[in-house]
Amino acid sequence: MRKKLIAGNWKMHLNFNQAMSLIADLVQIEKRNNWNDTDVAIYPPALYTRHAVEFLSNAQSRIKVGVQNCAATSDGAYTGELSANMLKAAGASMVLIGHSERRAYFNEDSNVLFRKLEMSLNAGLTPVLCCGEQLEDRKSVQHFHCVSDQLNETLFRLSEESASRVIIAYEPVWAIGTGETASPEQAQQMHAHIRSEVRDKFDENTATNMRVLYGGSMKPENAVQLLSQPDVDGGLIGGASLQADQFSTIITS
């Protein structure tokens, strides 16, 4: 049985004091509620990683800390970059790879994303590999083909052992930050397709155990319906993760 994972991607939001206040609020809510059946992770700006890890550790919280990106190289003269090994040493346990904003705004192609997968796995981080289609892909009924291509160019270049350590996040690009959401049926169809592709490439065991998250404007109002789908194993939450009460409502959904 795959354990649900609710992960909050804070993107480039919150100053330091706001971030730590949000973490403190989450810890208090966690103590009042039973989150044992669900894994919870937050992805604050990388600058706050060590502070978040130490605060959560001191509070004996089960909330994991991830980062939103890592470099495609292990070290060297790459001003401004943070390697997977550095992020792991700072206490991060997970990393987002290939978020649609990284693909669109920073021109990250499949070769770059594949290297980031390798770097994060070698460092002992759990990659959350994002994939998803644009609105025009869905309108032209190319959405399954688009996602399959993204998997072929990244995840399926890994060995079966390495791929089994990856989490997939399906994010319909047309539903990110727009208020639009894929219907539960649309989400289930794509998640089932992704699992089928993993099964065809590797085997039944890898497909059955791989967690596939939904990452397109999940919020308290639609979380129950989305999370009740058999192949939806959790959510990658954007805006709703910046409000402790909204995020906790999704967790308990």
Residues involved in catalysis: 99, 171
Instruction: Determine how β-strand 94-97 pairs with β-strand 64-67.
Output: parallel
Question: CA–CA separation, 154 vs 109, rounded Å?
Answer: 10
Amino acid 41 reads A
- DSSP percent split of the chain into helix, strand, coil, nearest 5: 50, 15, 35
Task: For residue 75, give Cα distances in angstroms to 72, 78, 84, 154, 250.
Answer: 9, 8, 9, 22, 38
Query: Max CA-CA distance within the chain?
Result: 51
Question: CA–CA separation, 217 vs 194, rounded Å?
Answer: 19
Task: For residue 221, give Cα distances in angstroms to 203, 218, 238.
Answer: 35, 8, 14
Is residue 87 within 8 A of residue 46, CB to CB? The reply is yes
Beta strand ranges found along 34-131 (DSSP E): 38-43, 64-67, 94-97, 126-131
